[in-house]
Amino acid sequence: MTEPSLYDEILDYANRANPWPLYEKLRSQPVWQEADGTFVVSTYREVLALQHDPRLSSDPSNLLPEFAAMRPPAEAGGGATGFIRTDPPRHDVLRRIAMRQFGPPHRPDYVDSFVPAMQGIVGKLVDKLADKQEADVVDDVAYPLPVAVICRMLGVPPEDEPTFSAWVEPIVNSLGNPTPEQLKERGDAVQAMANYMFELAQRRRAEPGDDMISGYVQDDGPDGRLEGADLFGTLVLLLIAGHETTVNLITNGWLTLQRHPDVLQRLRTEPDFSIRLVEELLRYEPPVHILPFRTATDDIELGGATIRKGHPISVMLASGNHDSTCIPHADRFDPDRRDNVHLSFASGVHYCFGAPLARLEAQLALTELARRLDNPRLLADPPPYRPSPVLRGPVHLPIAYDGVSPA
Amino acid sequence: MRVVVDLTKCEGYAQCAFLAPEAFRMVGDEALMFDPSPPDELREKVLRAAAACPVQALQVDMADLPPQPQAETTAVHGDDRLRHDGRVVIVGASLAGLKAAEQLRAEGFAGSLTMIGDEPEEPYDRPPLSKQVQTGWVHSADTTLPRRREIDAEWKLGVAATGLDLDRNVVTLADGQEVGFDRLLISTGVRARPWPIPEEAALDGVFTIRTRADASGLRERLMNKPSRVLVIGSGFTGSEMASVCVELGIPVTVAEAGPAPLSGALGGVIGRIAGGIMREHGVDLRTNTMVTSLQGEDGRLRRALLSDGTTIDVDVAVVALGGIRNVEWLENSNLAVGVWGVACDAGCRAFDANGLVTDDVFVAGDVARQPQPMFGYQFLAMEHWGNAVSQAEVAAHNMISSESDRWPHLEVSAFWSLQFGNNIKSVGVPTFADQVAITQGSVHTRQFVAAYGYKGRMVGAVSWNQGKWLDFYEDLIEQAAPFPPPYEMTNPPEDRTPVPAEFPERTYPGREATVVVTGHDPSERRATLVRNARRR
Ligand SMILES: Cc1cc2nc3c(=O)[nH]c(=O)nc-3n(C[C@H](O)[C@H](O)[C@H](O)COP(=O)(O)OP(=O)(O)OC[C@H]3O[C@@H](n4cnc5c(N)ncnc54)[C@H](O)[C@@H]3O)c2cc1C
C-alpha cells in the first residue's frame, strides 16, 4: 500500500480541525502532482498567478476523458451550473446579467440598502439567546442570518424560508465525500428547489417586486435575459453560495475571537474594528479552503512544474493565505495588519460574487455577538467540524454565557 | 476624508462600489470613478470599502489607517549620519514628491525634509481632472492626495525653484532663498504644451488641462453648455475630454493629426477601434487633420480652421498636445537635461552633463527619463501615475541607502484611461512593438486583450474592459515570453494573427546636438550642455 499523500491527509477528516501544518509542508513545493493526476497549487504567488491565467478553465468539459469521473456533480436539474463552472465569454455574460440585479453598475446600492434589515435580523437572532445560557453559534446565528438575507434579496417570501433550509441541508451534507444516498438526496433537493424557483419566477413575472428574481424575469439588459436552465442554475447557485460560505465565515470568526480574548474585547469597544477584523479573519480562517475542479486548456509552467492540459487542478486558497514568504508573519492573527491581500474570495474573473454581502453579514453578526454576550466561552475546542475540506468550518459551535445585554 | 485609488492596481472588483456606493461608482463593467473627498458621514462605509479592496488599491489618510506596526529593527544600511540628520530636499511637490517623502519616512529617515512646489496647494491627484471633475461629480479643489504617514516636512509652497548649484549643493528659489541639501529629488513633472501660437492660445475659451486651475476653468465653461467643443489632439487626455463632452451632451469635434486616436500610445490598429467607439458616440472625429488656426472675436474664441479646409464654430478648445518637461530651472546645473527630461540611471540617480551618474541628485516621475532594461535599455519617460509612484519609492530608498543596497527601478509600466464607458489599461511599452495581435475576447463587444510584440517577444499588452487578465501579460513581458503567445486560452478571439502595430515613426528627441565636448585626454574630456542648440 502506498503512503497517503499530503493532499490526501489534508482531505482526511481527522485533520480538519488543524490543517495548517499540512499546508505548510505542502508549500515546500508550490505545484504538486498527485498520483491520480491532480495538480495541487499551494503557494501565494502561484495561486494568485493561476487565477489570472487565461489557460485556467472552470469548465469541467475541458477535463481529459480519463478524469471524467472527477467531474463535479451538476448543480441543478437541467445540468445548469450558473456561471461558476463556465469560462469567458459565456461566464462574463451570465455573471453580468446576474450582477445587474445585485450590484454596480446597474444597481449600485442594492446591497447597501439591506444593511438596516441585516442589522435587524442579527439583533433578533441575538435577542433569542437571552432566555438560555447556552447556544450553538451555527444553528442560532451563523446559519439563519445568511439564509434570511439571501431569501429577502432574491424575493423568497419569509414563510417559505423553512422549506428552503430543509432543501439546503442535504446539499450541504453532500459536500466532501458523499455516499450514494446523500447524492440522491442532494439531487432530489436541487430538483425540488428548481421547481419551487420556477413557480416563484412565474409569480414574480405576474407581480413583480424590487427583488432580484423580479428583476431577472422582468428587466432586460444589453446581454438579454436569463432563461430556462440558466435562470434556475443562477438562482440555485446564488442561494447556496449565498449562505454556505458565510456560515463558515461567521463561525470560524467567532471561534477565533474566543481563542483571542483581547481581540474579542476590542471588538466590544472599538467602533470600526470589525471592518479590518473580518478581513483578517477571512485571511486567517477562510471559509473556502480549496477551489477544486479547475483544469487547464493548455500546459502551464508554474512554480517550477508543468501543469498538464486537461488535468484536474486544486487551488489551495487557505494555504496561500498562510504563505509567510509573501505575507509577513502569516501564521499570526493580526487584525491591525495593513495591506491585507488575502485570497479568500478567489481572484480574477471568478472573484466571489457575494463577497460584499458576506463581509457585511460577518461584521454585523460578530459585532453584535461580542457586544451583547456576557462572558461567552467555548464548550468545545476544537468544535466538531463539517465533513467538507473545501468549505471548512465547524458543524456546531456550542458556547455558554452568563447573560445577554439588551440591544 | 481624503481618498485616492491606485487605478493602476485596481482590477475592477467593485467591492468599494458595493460597500460605499455614494463614494465609488463603476462605469461600465470594470472602470472605477471615485470621490476623492467623501463627506465624513461616509467614513465608516469608506473604511469598509478600503479594507475590502482585494488588491488594496484604495488609500485613505493615515488617521483612518490601522496603527503603524512597530518599525522592524533591521540592520540599517548605508550612511547612518544621513539617515539620522541628513537634509533631503524635494523639488516638485506633487504625486512623485509626496510618495518619495512618505517612503523616506517609512524607511526610517529621521533628518530634515523640505518640500518645494510652485503650486500653492498641497499635493493633489491629477487623473480626476479630466474625468470626474469635468462631469461635475467632483470639485477640482477636492482632489488633495491622502497622507499615508506623517512626513514631518517643511513645506515651501507657491514658490518655484529657479536654480541648482551642484558645487554648493544648494537649490535657489524664486523668492531668493537658498536651500542646502545632502540629497535632492527632482520631481517637477511636466506642464501642458500650450497652443503654439501665443495670441491664439490667449483667446478666452482656449484651455489646457494639467492643473486644478485649468480643470476648474474648463469645467465652468462646460457648465455653460457651449455650442461645440474642439479637442485638439486625441491622446488619452483629449479622448477623455471628448468622452466627457458626449456625457454632458455637448457637441464635440476632435482634430487628430495622426491616423487614429491613441495611435501614438497604442498604435493605429488599436487606435482605429478607439476611433470607431468615438464615432459611435457621435463625436465628429477628424483624423489626419490639423487645426491650422484658432480665431476669436473680442478676445473670445469663435471658430477654428482645419487642414481639411473646413471651418468650425466653437466656443471652447481643449489643447491636448502632451507636455513640456519642467527642466528650465536646471539649465545651468550641469545635469543631463533637455526637452526629453532629466536622464538618470535605473536607480533614479541623475546623470550629469557628461553622462556620469551623480550620487546625491535623484529624479522621479514624469520629468525622469530612465533606461528600460526590459526594452533594450532605451531611455524612456513614462508619464503615468503608477510610474511616478514606483519611481518615487525607488528613488527615496536609494537616496538613503548604501551602494550595495540600491534598488533598480524595474517596474513594468502600466497605464489606465477611462473613456466612453470603457476601461482601457495597458502594461509594458506598447510603443516598442512592431506587431500586435488580439489574444482574448472580441473587438466587436469591446471586451478584449491585445498583446504587443517586438521581434517575436512580448513587450506590451492592452486590455479593453478585461483588466483582470493583465497580470498574466505582465508576467509574460517580464519573462520575455514569445510573441504571439503560443497558448490555447479560454475566450479565444476570432482571429489572432499578428498584424503590424502601426506606430508612428519614432522620433528621437535630442537628435540634434545639444552638447559640446572638450578636452583631449580621457581625464580631461568634458561635456557641456549648450542652450538653444536646437535651431529652428
Ligand atoms: C488631466 C490628467 C489626467 C491624467 N490621467 C491619467 C490616467 O488616467 N492614468 C495615468 O496613469 N496617468 C494619468 N495622468 C498622468 C499623471 O497624473 C502623472 O503621471 C503624474 O501626475 C506625474 O506625477 P509627477 O509628480 O511626476 O509630476 P506632476 O504631477 O506634474 O508634478 C510636478 C509638480 O512640480 C511642480 N513644479 C514644476 N516646476 C517646478 C519648479 N521649478 N519648482 C517647484 N515646483 C515645480 C509642478 O507645478 C507640479 O506641481 C494624468 C495627468 C493629467 C494632467
pLDDT in tens, B255-309: 999 999 999 999 999 999 999 999 999 999 999 999 999 999 999 999 999 999 9
What is the separation, in whole angstroms, between the first and last Cα of chain A?
Answer: 59
Mutation choice for ligand 1 from B326, B367, B391, B418, CB with most ligand atoms inside 8 A: B326
Cβ-Cβ contacts under 8 Å, A57 against chain B: 490
Question: CA-to-CA distance for B340 and B388, rounded, in angstroms?
Answer: 16
Cβ-Cβ contacts under 8 Å, B69 against chain A: 336, 338
Strand partners, A294: A313
Q: State the smallest CA–CA distance between residue A90 and chain B in angstroms.
A: 9
Residue of A nearest to B481 (CA): A301
Average pLDDT in chain A: 92
Which tens digit of pLDDT belongs to each residue from A335-364?
999 999 999 999 999 999 999 999 999 999
Q: Is B56 left (phi over 0), alpha (psi -120 to 50) or beta?
A: left
Q: Is the pLDDT at A374 greater than 90, yes or no?
A: yes
pLDDT at res. B509: 53
Question: Is this structure's pTM higher than 0.80?
Answer: yes
* SS3 state at B32: strand
Q: Most A CBs within 10 Å: which of B18, B47, B458, B466, as the mutation test of the A interface?
A: B18
Which of B47, B48, B472 lies nearest to residue A53, judging by beta carbons? Answer: B472
Contact A279, A333 (CB under 8 A): no
| Mean of pLDDT values over B460-474 | 97
Q: Is the pLDDT at A116 greater than 60, yes or no?
A: yes
Q: State the smallest CA–CA distance between residue B114 and chain A in angstroms.
A: 28
A387-396, B355-364, B458-467: segment of lowest average pLDDT: A387-396
Question: CA-to-CA distance for B375 and B379, rounded, in angstroms?
Answer: 9
Q: Is the pLDDT at A120 greater than 80, yes or no?
A: yes
A112 reaches B (C-beta below 8 A)? yes
pLDDT at res. A189: 87
Q: State the smallest CA–CA distance between residue A400 and chain B in angstroms.
A: 31
Question: CA-to-CA distance for A37 and A5, rounded, in angstroms?
Answer: 13
Strand partners, A398: A136
- Yes or no, beta carbons of A87 and B491 under 8 Å apart: yes
Contacts of A270 (CB under 8 A, 6+ apart): none
What is the DSSP code string of B453-511? EETTEEEEEEEES-GGGHHHHHHHHHTT-BSS-----SS--S----EE--PPPP--TT-
Q: Is the pLDDT at A76 greater than 50, yes or no?
A: no
| Mean of pLDDT values over B114-137 | 97
Residue of B nearest to A277 (CA): B51
pLDDT at res. A407: 86
- Yes or no, beta carbons of A338 and B69 under 8 Å apart: yes
Which tens digit of pLDDT belongs to each residue from A194-234?
888 889 999 999 999 999 999 999 988 999 998 888 888 88
pLDDT at res. B535: 41
Question: CA-to-CA distance for B310 and B378, rounded, in angstroms?
Answer: 41
**Cell 489599461 belongs to which residue?**
B425
Query: Residue B175: how many CB atoms within 10 A of its CB?
Result: 10
Question: Of all helices (H) and strands (E), which one includes residue B252?
Answer: strand B252-255
- Yes or no, beta carbons of B491 and A89 under 8 Å apart: yes
Q: Is the pLDDT at B532 greater than 80, yes or no?
A: no
Tell me: cis bond preceding B484? Omega within 30 of 0 counts: yes
A119 reaches B (C-beta below 8 A)? no
% of chain A exceeding 70 in pLDDT: 96
Which tens digit of pLDDT belongs to each residue from B7-50?
999 999 999 999 999 999 999 989 999 999 999 999 999 999 99
- Yes or no, beta carbons of A276 and B51 under 8 Å apart: yes
Cβ-Cβ contacts under 8 Å, B21 against chain A: 104, 108-109, 112
Q: Most B CBs within 10 Å: which of A272, A299, A339, A352, as the mutation test of the B interface?
A: A272
Give the strand pairing for B161-165 and A39-41. unpaired
Q: State the smallest CA–CA distance between residue B126 and chain A in angstroms.
A: 24
Which of A103, A298, A348 lies nearest to residue B487, judging by beta carbons? Answer: A298
Contact B159, B147 (CB under 8 A): no
- Yes or no, beta carbons of A338 and B66 under 8 Å apart: yes
Q: How far is the CA of B323 from the centre of ligand 1 (A)?
A: 10
Mutation choice for ligand 1 from B119, B266, B385, B387, CB with most ligand atoms inside 8 A: B385
| Mean of pLDDT values over A157-177 | 79
Q: Buried b vs exposed e over B500-535: b needs ≥16 C-beta within 10 Å?
A: ebbbeeeeeebeeebbeeeeeeeeeeebebeeeeee
A221 reaches B (C-beta below 8 A)? no
Interface confidence: ipTM more than 0.85: yes
C-alpha cell at B159: 514658490
Contact A138, A379 (CB under 8 A): no
The minimum-distance atom of ligand 1 relative to the CA of B92 is 34
B66 reaches A (C-beta below 8 A)? yes
pLDDT at res. A179: 82
Q: Is the pLDDT at A82 greater than 90, yes or no?
A: no
B46 reaches A (C-beta below 8 A)? no
How many interchain CB pairs under 8 A, A with B?
124
Question: CA-to-CA distance for A130 and A133, rounded, in angstroms?
Answer: 8
Which of A55, A341, A356 lies nearest to residue B18, judging by beta carbons? Answer: A356
Contact B180, B350 (CB under 8 A): no
Average pLDDT in chain B: 94
A337 reaches B (C-beta below 8 A)? yes
Q: Is the pLDDT at B71 greater than 70, yes or no?
A: no
Q: Is the pLDDT at B533 greater than 50, yes or no?
A: no
Q: Is A104 left (phi over 0), alpha (psi -120 to 50) or beta?
A: beta
B475 reaches A (C-beta below 8 A)? yes
A54 reaches B (C-beta below 8 A)? yes
Which tens digit of pLDDT belongs to each residue from B415-453?
999 999 999 999 999 999 999 999 999 999 999 999 999
% of chain A exceeding 90 in pLDDT: 77
pLDDT at res. A78: 42
Question: CA-to-CA distance for B533 and A291, rounded, in angstroms?
Answer: 63
- Yes or no, beta carbons of B19 and A359 under 8 Å apart: yes
Q: Is the pLDDT at B508 greater than 60, yes or no?
A: no
**Cell 469663435 belongs to which residue?**
B302
- Yes or no, beta carbons of A104 and B13 under 8 Å apart: no
B478 reaches A (C-beta below 8 A)? no
Residues 376-405 (A) with a CB less than 8 A from some CB of B: none
Most distant CA atoms of chain A, gap in Å? 62
The minimum-distance atom of ligand 1 relative to the CA of B418 is 8
The torsion of the CA quartet A174, A180, A186, A192, rounded to 10 degrees, works out to -170
Q: Is the pLDDT at A79 greater than 60, yes or no?
A: no
Query: Residue A319: how many CB atoms within 10 A of its CB?
Result: 27
Give the strand pairing for B112-117 and B31-34. unpaired
- Yes or no, beta carbons of A48 and B447 under 8 Å apart: no
Cβ-Cβ contacts under 8 Å, A363 against chain B: 48
B120-134, B408-422, B509-523: segment of lowest average pLDDT: B509-523
Q: Most A CBs within 10 Å: which of B16, B30, B48, as the mutation test of the A interface?
A: B48
Q: State the smallest CA–CA distance between residue B258 and chain A in angstroms.
A: 33
Q: Is the pLDDT at A127 greater than 80, yes or no?
A: yes
Cα three-residue angle A228-A232-A238, rounded to 5 degrees = 145
A89 reaches B (C-beta below 8 A)? yes
Residue nearest to atom 16 of ligand 1 (CA): B385
C-alpha cell at B95: 504625486
A224 reaches B (C-beta below 8 A)? no
Which of A275, A347, A349 lies nearest to residue B51, judging by beta carbons? Answer: A275
C-alpha cell at B483: 510573441
B473 reaches A (C-beta below 8 A)? no
Q: Is the pLDDT at B398 greater than 50, yes or no?
A: yes
- Yes or no, beta carbons of B468 and A349 under 8 Å apart: yes
Question: Of all helices (H) and strands (E), which one includes residue A125?
Answer: helix A115-127
What is the DSSP code string of B125-190? -SGGGGTTTTTTSS-GGG-BPPPSS----EEEES--EEEEETTTTEEEETTS-EEE-SEEEE---E
Tell me: cis bond preceding B128? Omega within 30 of 0 counts: no
* SS3 state at B121: coil
Which tens digit of pLDDT belongs to each residue from A315-338?
999 999 999 999 999 999 999 999
pLDDT at res. B75: 52
Q: Is the pLDDT at A77 greater than 80, yes or no?
A: no
Residue nearest to atom 39 of ligand 1 (CA): B188
Give the pocket of ligand 1 (CB within 6 Å): B 91-92, 94-97, 116-119, 126-127, 129-130, 160-161, 187-190, 209-210, 237, 326, 329, 365-366, 383-386, 388, 415-417
Q: Taking each helix axis from N to C terminus, what angle separates B95-106 and B385-399, rounded to the nearest 10 degrees?
A: 40
B55 reaches A (C-beta below 8 A)? yes
| Amino acid, single-letter form, for residue B62 | M
- Yes or no, beta carbons of B442 and A89 under 8 Å apart: yes
